[in-house]
């Protein structure tokens, strides 16, 4: 039973990490794709051009979704502590 609980907690941890990181990574990917298309169309090959738009996009995504991301992580940690407490009872 303890192995199943540990595996389920690990699965939930990976799922939570994916859910929390996906908005920031997705924003960065989309902005990078748009800047790359812009660079290909205009033939401007500047390597540092993607840095500022990605930084702004990730900052805005963090501001907009930060509350949800923090709430998701806190609820997962709360679940981990609850499960750790139940393991001590056995």
What is the DSSP annotation of the chain? -HHHHHHHHHHHHHHHHHHHHHHHHHHHHHHHHHHHHHHHHHT---GGGGHHHHHHHHHHHHHHHHHHHHHHHHHHHHHHHHHHHHHHT-
pLDDT band at residue 89 using 50, 70 and 90 as cut-offs: low
For the entire predicted model, the pTM comes to: 0.79
At 27 the pLDDT is 96
Tokens of 55: 């930084």
pLDDT band at residue 26 using 50, 70 and 90 as cut-offs: very high
Q: Helices 2-42 and 51-88: crossing angle, nearest 10°?
A: 180
At 47 the pLDDT is 78
Q: Residues 66-72: what's their mean pLDDT?
A: 97
């Amino acid at each position: 039973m303890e192995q199943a609980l540990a595996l389920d907690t690990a699965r939930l941890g990976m799922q939570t990490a994916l859910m929390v990181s996906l908005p920031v990574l997705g924003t960065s990917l989309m902005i990078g794709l748009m800047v790359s298309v812009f660079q290909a169309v205009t033939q401007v090959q500047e390597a540092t051009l993607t840095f500022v738009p990605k930084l702004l996009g990730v900052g805005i995504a963090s501001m907009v979704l930060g509350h949800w991301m923090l709430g998701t992580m806190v609820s997962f940690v709360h679940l981990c502590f609850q499960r750790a407490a139940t393991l001590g009872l056995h």
